[in-house]
Amino acid sequence: MALIVQKYGGTSVGSVERIEQVAEKVITARNQGHKVVVVVSAMSGETNRLLDLAKSINEHPNSRELDVLLSTGEQVTIALLSIALIHRGCPARSYTGHQVHILTDSAHNKARILDIDKARVEKDLENGTVVVVAGFQGHDEHGNITTLGRGGSDTTAVAMAAALKADECQIYTDVDGVYTTDPRVVPEARRLSRITFEEMLEMASLGSKVLQIRSVEFAGKYNVPLRVLSSFEEGPGTLITYEEENMEQALISGIAFNRDEAKLTILGVPDEPGIAYRILGPVGKANIEVDMIIQNVGADATTDFTFTVHRNDYKKALDILNSVARELGAREVNGDNKIVKISLVGVGMRSHAGIASTMFEALAKEGINIRMISTSEIKISVVVDEKYLELGVRALHSAFGLEEGSNQ
């Protein structure tokens, strides 16, 4: 007998019929002798609908009240699922975040979980009751309702699993696992049977939307085995876990890409201490996140500086850079918001040389110009023109043989 936490996302509970299908799946797991905790999201579209209502009054609604509003979406789903379970003869009880004491900090709309009181849940599980918990919500030390940020139900599920020392946390969603890359770009993309926490974290921060980043961090920290599976099809999904010592590690696990990139360059700034700070300080102060940064080797006492930001921040960053350029007497400022970032991710990189050159060769063969490069221990990213995104991802997918199924 195992203790399993199952999480069902918005599409999986998008209608009463689907909620009834979820009830059947939960009952199947319980009939196999497992103790089951279910975490659910709001029905698909509901959180957006609520957000739009608030924004129709004020573009920046009061954050405490917004949490009161948004948390109602999940409350509907827990009740409907419990009604469906009980109707089928399966004992079930629903709980809001507050009722199971999911204690968070007070950062409304993006709160972090601090503690969970598992006593109530454990008592129900002992009695054979299925516990249905509202995702995405908690309360702070003053009893205010908080929410965990978009996609936060994943984090609720992982946190419940960590607190209860569950054998597995299963995230049921509308895809049947984590893929080598987006199958809409590369039809040959393959489902991975497993991936490490570290790799999944990179994939999530590089734009893969399968899981909320925080949930992966949490799972890694507390070593919660996490499995992504489809609500609609049978299958083993993808297991996210620690790197196993003797396991033959795939060189590259996946290719992530991000279309929302823009780059800015300031040319001919003095090559002296404090320049990076004078350029990037004002950008940071404006709350603009900077991703890649490159500074050229200085020639004749001046240097050039390039960095990337989210495309939404491009105009704002360009204005800031133009005024910095005037202050510093820079030669020129230019920018490009038609660029994308493509990244190779794999823990196998640590122990293998030559991955970067294989990557660059594959892109060169397609005549794709690389505009920026950055590397870390388990990732290599390049910035290329937007028009090369599909071609670049496909070329790399085949250069590294990702369609071949070694990881199945």
Per the document, the length of the chain is 408
Write down the H helix ranges in 119-251. 119-126, 153-164, 197-205, 213-222
Q: Are 98 and 6 in contact (CB under 8 A)?
A: no
Q: Are strands 102-104 and 113-116 parallel, antiparallel or unpaired?
A: antiparallel
Residue 25, H or E segment: helix 16-31
73 sits near Mg ion (criterion: CB under 5 A): no
- Considering only 148-156, 239-247, 300-308, 354-362, which stretch makes contact with ligand ASP by CB under 6 A? 148-156
Q: Pick between residue 173 and residue 337 the one whose CB is nearest to ligand ASP.
A: 173
Q: What is the Rg, in whole angstroms, of the alpha carbon atoms belonging to the chain?
A: 24
The tokens for 154 are: 């994943």
Question: What is the rounded distance in angstroms from the CA atom of residue 375 to the CA atom of residue 343?
Answer: 9
Q: Pick between residue 106 and residue 109 the one whose CB is nearest to ligand ASP.
A: 109
Among 73, 220, 335, 346, binds ligand ASP (CB under 6 A): 73
10 sits near ligand ASP (criterion: CB under 6 A): yes
237 sits near Mg ion (criterion: CB under 5 A): no
Specify burial of residue 340 (Cβ count, 10 A radius: 0-12, 13-18, 19+): buried
47 sits near ligand ASP (criterion: CB under 6 A): yes
Residues 2-21, one symbol each (x = binds Mg ion by CB under 5 A, - = not), give -------x------------
Angle formed at CA 280 by CA 279 and CA 282, multiple of 5 degrees: 85
151 sits near Mg ion (criterion: CB under 5 A): yes
| Shortest reach from residue 196's CB to ligand ASP, in Å | 23
The one of Mg ion, ligand ASP, none whose footprint includes residue 136, by CB under 5 to 8 A per kind, is ligand ASP
| Shortest reach from residue 375's CB to ligand ASP, in Å | 32
Q: Tell me how many residues contact Mg ion (CB under 5 A).
A: 2
Interface residue list for Mg ion (CB under 5 A): 9, 151
Interface residue list for ligand ASP (CB under 6 A): 9-10, 41-42, 47, 73, 135-136, 150-154
